[in-house]
Amino acid sequence: MDLAIGPYSGKKTGETALLRQMLDSFEPGDLVVFDRYYCSYFMIALLAMRGVDVCVRMHQRRDCDFSLGKQLGDDDHLVTWSRPAKPEWMDEETYGKIPQMIELREMRFRVEESSRVDEITVATTLLDPNEYSSLDVANLFGFRWNSELDIRDIKQTLNLDHVRCKSPAMVRRELWTTLLGYNLVRETIVAAATVHDKSPRQLSFTGACQAILSAWMLFSAGSFSSSDRRKITTTLLHQIALQEVANRPGRIEPRVLKRRRHRYPLMQKPRCRLKRELQKT
């Protein structure tokens, strides 16, 4: 829906600084699920001031004592966070609008993956335990991993792991064009899931891309009547609905490269300079 672009290094180029540029993208009633990198008082407060709820994993440096606060259940309580000192990036006017205290709900739950058991602590503005049970919040935070999978699809399946354009204007065009294509593929997956009574997350993004490319090739091969186009579209949605992803709970994969593609050294100089060096030899 939106993205922020900044220099590769320097001040105000981190993920939180880029996210602050996108706060206008959120609307009252939205719910944001974060990892622990975004667990800060000011990020939660800025979103809460816009009427946006937050569910974020607790930062590893923030202490959480479940013997304090108002107890809502086992490893589930309400606490009050106090406003820290003004950070360098925030102006005095904005700092004055930040509430001095915010009430948050902290909870801890266990996640079992194969033989490994992790304890995850989250903080959320969903305070009512009757409306949002601890199991609901745990399931909600579990969906955060989908964003990592979506980024992988954008980088690998749509080949955006390496930006190919040279000028800043063309780089932005390449990014937005790729995201436009990504959204259109996702919309087609939703249509296929709706027609065939499935969840969109059940269907493979890579399989959908392959089916859509095949349909494009068929459409470009000649002219078709309206009825033929409807038949091809119906077949396309059926083929996408068949491409289900496997249910692999607790899957653990090593983060290593399987193939050694080339044994050549990495290019660490401009191509023109390397060519000149080859000509001299």
Residue pLDDT, tens place only, 44-74: 999 999 999 999 999 988 888 899 999 999 9
Among left, alpha and beta (phi > 0; psi -120 to 50; other), residue 230 is alpha
Q: Tell me how far apart the alpha carbons of residues 92 and 277 are, in angstroms, rounded to a whole number.
A: 55
Provide the pLDDT confidence category of residue 264 given band limits of 50, 70 and 90. Answer: confident
Q: In terms of domains, do 23 and 48 share one?
A: yes
Q: Are residues 121 and 35 in the same domain?
A: yes
Query: pLDDT by residue (tens digit) across 191-240?
Result: 999 999 999 999 999 999 999 999 888 888 777 788 888 898 999 999 99
Q: Is residue 10 part of a domain?
A: no
Residue 236 lies in a domain: yes
Q: Residue 157's pLDDT band (boundaries 50, 70, 90)? A: very high
Residues 134 and 164 in one domain: no
- In a shared domain, residues 209 and 113: no
- Is the domain of 124 the same as that of 216? no
Give the model's pLDDT for residue 227.
86
Residue 274, in any domain of the structure: no
Distance CA(128)–CA(23), nearest Å, equals 25
Q: What is the DSSP string of 248-276?
A: -TT-----S-S-----SPP--S-HHHHHH
Residue 99: inside a domain, yes or no? yes
> What is residue 226's predicted lDDT score, i.e. its pLDDT?
83
Q: Which range has the worst mean pLDDT, 26-30, 86-90, 102-106, 111-115? A: 111-115
Same domain as 99, residue 158: no
Of 118, 143, 168, which one is at a domain's C-terminal end? 143
Stretch 140-153: mean pLDDT? 90
Nearest to 143 by CA among 215, 201, 95, 187: 201
28 & 136 share domain: yes
- Domain residues for the domain of 96 are 15-143
Pair 120, 155 in one domain: no
